[in-house]
Amino acid sequence: MEHQDDLRAQPLPYQVWGAENIDASAIAQMDAAMRLPISVAGALMPDAHVGYGLPIGGVLATENAVIPYAVGVDIACRMRLSLYPISPITVGQKPGQFKKALMEQTRFGVGAKFTGNDRNEHDVLDDPAWEATKYLKSLKDGAYDQLGTSGSGNHFVEWGAFTVPQDDAETGLKAGSYLALLSHSGSRAVGFKIANHYSKLAMELHPKLDSAVRHLAWLPLDWQPGQEYWLSMELAGRYAAANHEVIHQRVAKAIGLKPIFSVENHHNFAWIETIPAPAGFQGNERKVFVHRKGATPAGAGVLGIIPGSMGDPGYLVRGKGNTNALNSASHGAGRAMGRKQAIQAITKTERDRYLKDRGVTLLGGGMDEAPQAYKPIEQVIAAQSELIDILGKFAPLMVRMSDEPGDD
C-alpha cells in the first residue's frame, strides 16, 4: 500500500505551558510532531523534556492513527495514591517496620520478578485479550512473573505524609494529615515489548518518512496492525493498574493497614476523545486519538497525581478541562538534567544532604534520580494553574527505588 508521508511545511500551532523552563530541543521535537500529516492538535506541558519521538510532556492528537512511540515504551505508566486513617508520624516511630514492608513486598529493576509461591494472582491474568494475538500470548508468562513489580529509573513506592488543607465534598476527603502510600510504575516488560514490536512495524510501513520523525511512524486504526496495537495497549493499561493494586495490597497488608481512599491515573497512553475542531478543520467537533507521553489526563473533574522527586512533594489535583491543553497536565516535575549529566554533576553527599534536610529516608535510588536533577515542582505546578486545582499535598518520608539508572 502507498502512504502519504510528506510532512507539513510548517507545524500546526499549539500552546506551551511553562515555556521558560523547557529546553529548545523539546520544543523542536514537538514542532516536528505537529508537522505530521496525521496531526490535528497538540500541547506541551511544563515538565517537558526530550524523549524518543515525542517529547516527555507532549500531548498529540491524531486522526485515525496511533503512534506507538508517542505512547512510549512504558505503556500506561501509572501513579497510585492510597490514604490510611493513621498519623504519618507512625513512620518515624516504627521505621524498621515500614522499611521492612517496602523491602520485602516490592521488587525493583529491569527483569525484577516474583518466583514460585511468591508470585501474585490477579484477575488481569485471566483477561481474554492475552489470547487475542499470537504476540500477546507469548507475553503472558512473563506478565505473571512480573505482576506487582516496579521498574528502574524514576519508578518508586514510598510512604509519606498527605495533607488535605480543607474538606472536599466531591472526594469526601476531610481536612487533616494522613499516612499515605504512593507508587509510580508501569506495564513492565509487557509494555516495553509491545511498544518496540509495533513501533518497528510502523516504521516498516513508512519507509519514506523523514528520518527526523522516524520514531513517530504511525499505524492507521482501520488496518489490522493498528487494531492489534490498540488492543495490546489497552491490555497493558489494565496490567499496569493491576501491578499497582498488588503493590498497595502487599505493602499495606505487611503493616496491617486498609486504605480509606485511593486514586490513580496513567500517562504514556492514547485515548479516543472528542475535541473542538481546530482552525482549518471542518465541523465543530473532531474525534481524535490523544497521545499523552508523560502527561496526565486533566479533563473537568478528573483526579490526578503529579509527583515531584524522591525529596520533593507531590500533589493530588483535579483537572479543569482546558481544551487548549487537550485536557492534560504535567505528569511530574520533569528533568532539568539528563541522566548522564546528573550522575556527573551531583555528588552523593549533595543528594543525601538534600534528603536529610527534608526528613526523607532513601532505600536504593540511583544518582540519576537525585532531586537536584529535576525542575522545582512548585514552579511546574504554578505554571499550570489554568489546567488543575490542588486538593492535597504528599511529602515523601521513606522512598524505595531501584539502584539501576533509567533509560528515558
* Segment 380-394, tens digit of pLDDT: 999 999 999 999 999
Give burial (CB, 10 Å; 0-12/13-18/19+) of 228.
Answer: buried
Q: What is the pLDDT of residue 1?
A: 39
Residue 321: pLDDT over 70: yes
Please report which residue ranges of 17-164 form alpha helices under DSSP H. 24-33, 68-71, 89-93, 95-105, 134-146
Q: What is the mean pLDDT of residues 160-170?
A: 96
Question: Which whole number is the average pLDDT over 329-350?
Answer: 94
Distance in angstroms (rounded) separating the CA atoms of residues 306 and 355: 19
Does residue 301 carry a pLDDT above 70? yes
User: For 69-124, how does the pLDDT look when each residue is reduced to its tens digit (9 = 90+)?
Assistant: 999 999 999 999 999 999 999 999 999 999 999 999 999 998 899 999 999 999 99
- Contact indicator for 113, 143 with CB cutoff of 8 Å: no
209 pLDDT higher than 50: yes
Q: Return the residue matching grid coordinates 511529602.
A: 395
Residue 202 to residue 196: CA distance in whole angstroms: 10
Helix, coil or strand: residue 57: strand
Give me the chain's average pLDDT, please.
95
Half-sphere exposure of 246 (CA within 13 A, CB side): 29
Instruction: For residues 44 and 53, give the distance between their C-alpha atoms in angstroms, rounded to a whole number.
Output: 14
Cβ-based neighbours of 177, under 8 Å, separated by 6 or more: 87, 88, 161, 162, 163, 164
Going by pLDDT thresholds of 50, 70 and 90, the confidence category of residue 407 is low
Residue 4 clears pLDDT 80, i.e. is over it: no
Q: Is the pLDDT of residue 198 over 50?
A: yes
Identify the H or E element spanning 357.
helix 348-357
* pLDDT > 60? residue 126: yes
Cell match 492510597: residue?
82
Longest dimension (CA), the chain: 66
Per residue in 130-148, pLDDT (tens digit) is: 999 999 999 999 999 999 9
pLDDT band at 2 (very low <50, low <70, confident <90, very high): very low
Contact 295, 42 (CB under 8 A): no
Percentage of residues in the chain with pLDDT exceeding 90? 91
Among candidate residues 369, 326, 282, 364, the one with its CA nearest the CA of residue 102: 364
Question: 320 near 390, Cβ under 8 Å?
Answer: no
Q: Determine contact, residues 341/23, Cβ cutoff 8 Å.
A: no
Q: Coil, strand or helix: which one is 67?
A: coil
Tens-digit pLDDT profile for residues 35-64? 999 999 999 999 999 998 899 999 999 999
pLDDT at 277: 79
